[in-house]
Amino acid sequence: RQLLKDSFMVELVEGARKLRHVFLFTDLFLCAKLKKQIGGKSQQYDCKWYIPLTDLSFQTVDEAEAVPNIPLVPDEELDAMKIKISQIKNDIQREKRANKGSKVIERLKKKLSEQESLLLLMSPNMAFRVHNRNGKSYTFLISSDYERAEWRENIREQQKKCFKSFSLTSVELQMLTNSCVKLQTVHNIPLTINKEDDESSGLYGFLNVIVHSATGFKQSSNLYCTLEVDSFGYFVNKAKTRVYRDTTEPNWNEEFEIELEGSQTLRILCYEKCYNKTKLPKEDGESTDRIMGKGQIQLEPQALQDKDWQRTVISMNGVEVKLSVKFTSREFSLKRMPSRKQTGVFGVKIAIVTKRERSKVPYIVRQCVEEIERRGMEEVGIYRVSGVATDIQALKAAFDVNNKDVSVMMSEMDVNAIAGTLKLYFRELPEPLFTDELYPNFAEGIALSDPVAKESCMLNLLLSLPEPNLVTFLFLLDHLKRVAERESVNKMSLHNLATVFGPTLLRPSEKDSKIPANPTQPITMTDSWSLEVMSQVQVLLYFLQLETIPTPDSKRQSILFSTEV
């Protein structure tokens, strides 16, 4: 009996999340819990349950048994954990520079470890279920479809070699569980704490990925791909291509821009879209699309530094997918570059555009919002899922030359491209909507602890924005609130929207950014970013959550009129 694979997983036990270490042996699947270590004792595992592989299935024996309710943790809480993690990392760096005693650093590392474990425990919410033929079912929560598929593959592969069921005596089980300590390959929860500082902490910035095409499919089917990247130690789905119908050689040629937060790996999954829901056995009450292949590439900072497109081929059990990738580091991607042509709308001050159009809210903002409200409100991940970059560039060009056919173009485009165009417009403003001048005040206001003082400060600041900025912001704010009302369908909460739009609306122009000029300051580039980004998210979230925003009469008048524009 050999150990084939092990990893940490979150098990759902009577509605509560529990951290487990699972082990796949040549003939059984074992779920254990790490016992608390008391005074210098070595690690010990406590076996929770095991299933011989011959008795393990991914389908329920009893069809009536529903997938248990997954308790979701609000994104605000997950974000608060990420902020804490960034702050503790800063503290550790600071202590290291000050060469303080290792006691302080040890204490901080312990705190970091607790926060990261908590984040890992709370974030996954995709069900991975295993059933014992005698009827008992177990549910794990996993953050990535890739990992779920990998476990299923490994188990199925091994099941082909197992023929008879068995049960272990308590002594055998005890011996097996004890052997886990020596055999385990994954010693630490996959966290940043366990990496030594000289190990790269991943890439921060934007990764552009073009998914070109795929070959090697045996029979014609409807195919699409998704892309996942890791951040904070776990993987999240970032983009999805359109479905290429009825083909063995799909040519997607779609480009996506993915934001990286300390990422080290890009994963790609290729699915067959199943329109006929009855054919496939249901597993985990999940979508019935079938994974046809999966693969990954490491994001090596050295290899990606030269800012040019790099072509690569990912092979996955007989299927080959062609990709191109290009990385732009964060410092570089955020330079708000004023447009040299003042006749366009991208990169031109909002006051100039509204004056030229004689409008309260720029035409591009109204058009994009209108189109999304018409057909994008139920799109899963609207504003979070990347649109195809070539579509976004085409729309940008059309708006810039004031093309009369822009509304026809929009009606034919994927709604994610329209959402992407709107985000790009705000990102490319030469000055953020909340202005360089007021940005530091918003950041201070959001940090106030007294709710009354905070509200008065934040509202006063908001109302001191220049009129086109204020009216445009309130117009966008109403729209985002309406998007979040459909959260049960589109999966976009106020918080998700704040995460997407906060930095876009608030992040100052590069020259004013509070990045330390001399790198010896006790805050690392990546962590100062994450703290700044978190604060930008909090500011926008604050306004999204306010019931009403009282505006003075003169402004209210103009806002009322602006809705007719």
Is residue 151 very low, low, confident or very high in pLDDT (cuts 50, 70, 90)?
A: very high
Residue 295 has pLDDT above 70, yes or no: yes
- Find the mean pLDDT for residues 429-451: 94
Report the chain's mean pLDDT, rounded to a whole number: 84
- Find the mean pLDDT for residues 105-121: 88
What is the DSSP secondary-structure string of 390-425? HHHHHHHHHHHTT-TTHHHHHHHS-HHHHHHHHHHH
CA distances from 79 to 12, 213, 383, 401, 538 (A): 22, 36, 18, 40, 10
Residue bearing the bigger pLDDT, 82 or 462: 462
Residue 505: count other Cβ atoms within 10 Å of its Cβ.
Answer: 24
CA distance 104 to 109: 9
- Find the mean pLDDT for residues 478-492: 94
CA distance 527 to 87: 8
Topology annotation, domain 203-333: Immunoglobulin-like (2.60.40)
- Find the mean pLDDT for residues 413-429: 94
Is residue 527 very low, low, confident or very high in pLDDT (cuts 50, 70, 90)?
A: low
CA distance 540 to 461: 13
Is residue 191 very low, low, confident or very high in pLDDT (cuts 50, 70, 90)?
A: low
**CATH of span 350-562:** 1.10.555.10
pLDDT given for residue 29 in this prediction: 96
Residue 328 has pLDDT above 70, yes or no: yes
pLDDT given for residue 510 in this prediction: 65
Phi then psi for 293, rounded to 5 degrees?
A: -175, 160
Residue 353 has pLDDT above 60, yes or no: yes
Q: Which tokens go with 548?
A: 């009403």
Residue 518 has pLDDT above 60, yes or no: no
Give the model confidence (pLDDT) of 208-237 as tens digits: 899 999 999 999 999 999 999 988 778 888
CA distances from 29 to 22, 174, 189, 453, 475 (A): 7, 15, 19, 56, 54
**Reported pTM:** 0.69
**Domain 3-70+123-189 CATH class label:** mainly beta
CA distance 390 to 209: 12
The answer to whether residues 35 and 106 touch, using CB atoms and an 8 Å cutoff, is no
Residue 427 has pLDDT above 80, yes or no: yes
What is the dihedral sign for C-alpha 115, 20, 177, 29?
Answer: negative
pLDDT given for residue 63 in this prediction: 55
- Find the mean pLDDT for residues 524-541: 77
The answer to whether residues 289 and 272 touch, using CB atoms and an 8 Å cutoff, is yes
Is residue 4 very low, low, confident or very high in pLDDT (cuts 50, 70, 90)?
A: very high
Is residue 205 very low, low, confident or very high in pLDDT (cuts 50, 70, 90)?
A: confident
Is residue 40 very low, low, confident or very high in pLDDT (cuts 50, 70, 90)?
A: low
- Find the mean pLDDT for residues 106-127: 88
Tell me, what amino acid is at 488? Answer: S
Give the rounded percent of residues in the chain with a pLDDT score beyond 90.
50
pLDDT given for residue 471 in this prediction: 94
- Find the mean pLDDT for residues 438-443: 95
CB under 8 Å to 272, separation ≥6 — which residues? 221, 222, 223, 289, 290, 292
Is residue 69 very low, low, confident or very high in pLDDT (cuts 50, 70, 90)?
A: confident
The answer to whether residues 459 and 446 touch, using CB atoms and an 8 Å cutoff, is no
pLDDT given for residue 521 in this prediction: 40
Residue 173 has pLDDT above 90, yes or no: yes
CA distances from 237 to 228, 284, 524 (A): 4, 18, 27
Give the rounded percent of residues in the chain with a pLDDT score beyond 70.
85
Mean pLDDT: which of 65-79, 267-281, 373-387 is highest? 373-387
pLDDT given for residue 303 in this prediction: 81
- Find the mean pLDDT for residues 303-327: 87
Mean pLDDT: which of 214-223, 250-259, 384-393 is highest? 214-223
Residue 192 has pLDDT above 70, yes or no: no
pLDDT given for residue 522 in this prediction: 39
